[in-house]
Amino acid sequence: MKWRDKLSDMQLDVLQEIGNIGAGNAATSLSNMIGKTVDIEVPHAQIVDLSDLYKVLDQPEEITAATVVGIKGDAPGKMLMIFPSQAAKKLISFLIGQEPEDLTSLDEMGQSVLKEIGNIMCSSYIIALSNFTSLFLESDVPMLVVDMLGAIIAETSIQAAEEYDDVIMVENLLNISEEGDVKGFLMLFPEGESLDKIFSKLGIQ
pLDDT in tens, 32-75: 888 888 898 888 898 888 777 777 766 667 788 899 999 999 99
Q: Parallel, antiparallel, or unpaired for β 180-190 and 77-83?
A: antiparallel
What is the reported pLDDT for 161?
Answer: 46
Identify the CATH number of the domain in which residue 74 sits.
3.40.1550.10
Flag whether 106 is in a domain. yes
Q: Cα–Cα distance between 117 and 112 in angstroms, integer?
A: 9
Flag whether 93 is in a domain. yes
Q: Cα–Cα distance between 196 and 189 in angstroms, integer?
A: 13
What is the reported pLDDT for 143?
Answer: 92
Residue 53 DSSP one-character state: G
Please tell me whether the overall predicted TM-score, pTM, comes out greater than 0.85 for this model.
Answer: yes
What is the reported pLDDT for 121?
Answer: 93
The domain in which residue 153 lies consists of 3-199
What is the reported pLDDT for 186?
Answer: 92
Q: Within the chain, where are the H helices?
A: 9-34, 85-96, 108-133, 149-159, 194-202
Radius of gyration (C-alpha) of the chain in whole angstroms: 16
Task: Give the CA dihedral 155, 168, 121, 20, nearest 10 degrees.
Answer: 180
What is the reported pLDDT for 7?
Answer: 86
For 64-100, write each residue's pLDDT tens digit.
Answer: 889 999 999 999 999 999 988 888 888 888 888 788 8
For 112-169, write each residue's pLDDT tens digit.
Answer: 989 999 999 999 999 999 998 999 999 999 999 998 887 887 777 665 545 677 888 8
- Partners of 39 in the beta sheet? 175
Flag whether 205 is in a domain. no
What is the reported pLDDT for 41?
Answer: 87
Domain count, the chain: 1
Flag whether 204 is in a domain. no
What is the reported pLDDT for 60?
Answer: 61
